[in-house]
Amino acid sequence: MKYGMNLMLWADQMHDGLLPALASLKAIGYDGVEVPVFDLDLARWTTWARRLDDLGLLRTANHVIAPEFDPVSPDPLVQARAFEHMQRVVDCCVEVGATVLAGPHQIALGVFSGQGPTDAEWARSVAHIRRVAEYAAPAGLVLTEEVVNRFELYLLNTMEQAIRFIDQVDMPNCLIHLDTFHANIEEKRPGESIRAAGRRIGYVHISENDRGVPGSGHVAWDATFEALQAVGYDGWLTVESFGNALPNLAAATKIWRPLFDSPDQVAREGYAFMQRQVAEHFPAR
């Protein structure tokens, strides 16, 4: 099991001002960080790979899809741009040394048709993600498709849908990204949904129901960790929390009020919470 921290608590782009926070995360005990991959300048990621190596921090990555790269578009030109865009994202992930690319890549975030996914949209998304996974496979990068609530996208909202999707993609390096915030909204019985997904789960976001400090709300934590232990999950547990100090991230995540005293509080209490849960529910560890 590895413990990670999503850096979008501080920024949506890597910059020198993050260095003290990164050093603090290492001192707390985190194994690595989840870097936001939106800047697609390979040279910058070469630099950050070296800096994170120097700090002793492993990497995962996160990316979401903008409307202009929507892979379910009926326009072949948009579909082609979507794949070319994801090739560049994968290249940046490899350059920074990330082992996992997390997030919803199967459809553009925040774009709605007014109905659920059509069969044609579903098929286009499956084919697109299969191509991306094939492109990422030689570098050893695992693509994890996030299950996101219905207010943010309309393709994969439940674990049941994600199981069907991943099985149709049928690539060993394409797995499910479980986020406890989204599961708290969409899953009637989160533990049962995790057990149904089983070994298909490749990445986990530890996120409270209000996006605040993990363990401070009403997410079904015991059921979640019991189910993760039951299916033999042994990957990343990454804290994802958002604040309202950065206007662009606050607007994107709809955080309009303070949810904690400081990012450092989230990092410290989130790490301690994950350690307690693992100690309780994974007794062999």
Express each pLDDT in 169-187 by its tens digit. 999 999 999 999 999 999 9
pLDDT grade for 285, boundaries at 50, 70 and 90: low
pLDDT grade for 91, boundaries at 50, 70 and 90: very high
208 in catalytic set: no
Of 281, 203, 267, nearest to 239 (Cα)? 267
Q: If you average pLDDT over residues 108-136, what whole number do you get?
A: 96
- Please pick, among 146, 187, 208, 269, the residue that the annotation labels catalytic: 146
Q: What is the pLDDT at residue 248?
A: 80
pLDDT in tens, 54-64: 999 999 999 99
- Please pick, among 34, 145, 152, 240, the residue that the annotation labels catalytic: 240
Domains of the chain: 2-281 (3.20.20.150)
240 in catalytic set: yes
pLDDT in tens, 242-280: 988 778 887 888 888 889 999 999 999 999 999 999 999
Q: Is residue 230 scored above 60 in pLDDT?
A: yes
pLDDT in tens, 24-58: 999 999 999 999 999 999 999 999 999 999 999 99
Q: If you average pLDDT over residues 73-90, what whole number do you get?
A: 98
Q: What is the pLDDT at residue 247?
A: 80
Say how far apart CA 273 and CA 111 lie, in whole Å.
35
Q: Are 65 and 39 in contact (CB under 8 A)?
A: no
**Cα-based torsion angle of the residue sequence 98, 46, 23, 279 in order, rounded to the nearest 10 degrees:** 10
